[in-house]
């Protein structure tokens, strides 16, 4: 009998989820686009809502580096209604929705298809909604949870990891077809993704006690700020979303650089501030921001590898160590874990029901109440 909360138990399953899903997703990605289609593509858009958008933001760097293609992540509303009039038939549009039933994402892919763009639905629902709109389907349904967790409504993590894996593997496949990668390099990258499962286990083990301590130290906090850049700006968005879903606390995600232009003016000097860095292109700025945050009295936590976070940064703060080897474009698979642990322990401390028991107006099914996400109006054509 475990004493770990349902969200913590879900976090514990993530390494095995990667091990279970990696090979089937490799096969799907390899069969999805022909070499000719990959070579003809001149740019990539990835769109979605919520966690699916966060995964898209995290995948931009992988498509740029591994596939050699300009890639932009955009929310479904922004992409569908404001960007689709500008795209061309040599654009690849990847629409991500776990349920496959989010109206804005379905609309965005439908509008993209009208332009002649190559459209792919990345979803756990192969029968309806998004799958009916895309020309192609990459199926990301996750295996069922153990019986003791089945049926529980818990802030999502498994589907997010599945979407992230699918996007990375598709970037590798396109990079191979476009001769950006050779076969040996592509296979090495796929193995690296599979081996991330072991690294994720180490991050969970090392970060669990730290998350408990941080939550207790920040017991009176009412606002939390998560910062990241590049592939981990999406991690900051995801981490803030999980805290809000789990405990109902106000959580804000900011690009690392934007923090320096805004947060000096915040009224609460001890606001918990979580900096997320893979120790890559963002490292020098992340260290500067960490020192600035300490100087103005912020309660600081750093998600980074031990060797990229010097002691003066984490002194009187908290370090969530990421594991090496750590490729920056794949780092979100590790970097998302501390945020999940913090969300789980904060919910435990406050006794708050996940999603506040849907007391904010949205039904557990996601289609009723004040949000009406799935049944809302959809455009049927691209506006002039």
CA end-to-end span of the chain: 60
Do the domains spanning 6-181 and 202-352 agree at the CATH topology level? yes
Greatest extent of the chain over all pairs of C-alpha atoms, in Å? 60
Instruction: Dig out the tokens for 147 from the structure.
Output: 């019986």
Helix (H, G, I), strand (E, B) or coil at 75: strand
pLDDT band (50, 70, 90) for residue 264: confident
pLDDT in tens, 291-318: 999 989 999 999 999 888 777 777 778 9
Order of strands, sheet of 299-305, starting from the edge strand that comes earlier in the sequence: 250-255, 223-228, 272-276, 299-305, 318-322
pLDDT at residue 146, rounded to an integer? 74
User: What is the C-alpha separation between 226 and 249, in angstroms, rounded?
Assistant: 13
pLDDT in tens, 4-40: 999 999 999 999 999 999 999 999 999 999 999 999 9
Residue range 211-240: mean pLDDT, rounded = 96
Q: Which residues pair with 227 in a beta bridge?
A: 254, 275
pLDDT at residue 1, rounded to an integer? 42
User: Taking the domains of the chain in order of start, what are their residue ranges?
Assistant: 6-181, 202-352
pLDDT in tens, 324-368: 888 999 999 999 999 999 999 999 999 999 988 876 656 555 544
Residue range 211-233: mean pLDDT, rounded = 96
What architecture does CATH give domain 6-181? 3-Layer(aba) Sandwich (3.40)
Nearest alpha-carbon partner for 89 in 40, 31, 33: 40
pTM, two decimals, is 0.95
pLDDT band (50, 70, 90) for residue 265: confident
pLDDT at residue 37, rounded to an integer? 96
pLDDT in tens, 136-173: 999 999 998 776 676 778 899 999 999 999 999 999 99
Per CATH, the number for 202-352 is 3.40.50.10490
What CA dihedral angle connects 9, 57, 36 and 182, to 10 degrees? -70
pLDDT band (50, 70, 90) for residue 3: confident
User: What is the C-alpha separation between 324 and 114, in angstroms, rounded?
Assistant: 44
User: What is the C-alpha separation between 339 and 211, in angstroms, rounded?
Assistant: 9
Which residues, 6+ apart, have CB-to-CB distance to 205 below 8 Å?
Answer: none
Vertex 121: Cα angle to 119 and 127 (nearest 5): 130
């Amino acid at each position: 009998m475990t004493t770990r909360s349902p969200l913590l138990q879900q976090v514990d399953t993530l390494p095995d989820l990667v091990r279970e899903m990696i090979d089937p997703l490799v096969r799907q990605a390899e069969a999805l686009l022909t070499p000719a289609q990959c070579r003809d593509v001149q740019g990539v858009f990835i769109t979605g809502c919520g966690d699916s958008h966060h995964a898209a933001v995290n995948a931009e760097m992988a498509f740029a580096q591994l596939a050699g293609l300009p890639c932009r992540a955009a929310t479904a509303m922004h992409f569908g209604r404001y960007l689709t009039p500008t795209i061309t038939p040599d654009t690849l549009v990847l629409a991500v929705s776990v349920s496959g039933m989010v109206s804005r994402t379905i609309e965005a892919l439908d509008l993209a298809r009208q332009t002649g763009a190559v459209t792919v639905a990345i979803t756990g629902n192969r029968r309806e909604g998004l799958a009916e709109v895309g020309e192609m389907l990459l199926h990301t349904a996750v295996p069922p949870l153990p019986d003791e967790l089945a049926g529980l409504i818990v802030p999502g993590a498994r589907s997010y990891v599945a979407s992230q894996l699918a996007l990375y593997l598709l970037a590798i496949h396109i990079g191979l077809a476009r001769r950006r990668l050779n076969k040996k390099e592509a296979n090495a990258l796929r193995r690296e993704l599979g081996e991330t499962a072991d690294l994720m286990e180490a991050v969970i083990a090392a970060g669990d006690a730290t998350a408990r301590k941080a939550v207790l130290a920040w017991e009176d906090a009412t606002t939390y700020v998560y910062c990241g850049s590049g592939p981990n700006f999406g991690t900051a968005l995801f981490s803030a979303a999980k805290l809000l879903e789990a405990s109902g606390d106000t959580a804000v995600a900011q690009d690392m650089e934007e923090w320096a232009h805004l947060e000096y003016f915040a009224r609460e000097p001890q606001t918990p501030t979580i900096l997320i860095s893979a120790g890559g292109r963002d490292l020098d700025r992340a260290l500067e921001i960490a020192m600035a945050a300490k100087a103005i009295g912020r309660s600081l936590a750093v998600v980074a590898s031990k060797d990229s976070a010097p002691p003066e940064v984490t002194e009187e703060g908290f370090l969530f160590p990421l594991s090496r080897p750590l490729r920056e474009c794949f780092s979100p698979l590790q970097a998302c874990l501390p945020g999940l642990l913090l969300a789980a322990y904060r919910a435990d401390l406050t006794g708050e029901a996940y999603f506040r028991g849907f007391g904010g107006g949205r039904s557990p099914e996601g289609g009723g109440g004040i949000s009406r996400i799935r049944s809302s109006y959809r455009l049927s054509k691209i506006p002039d």
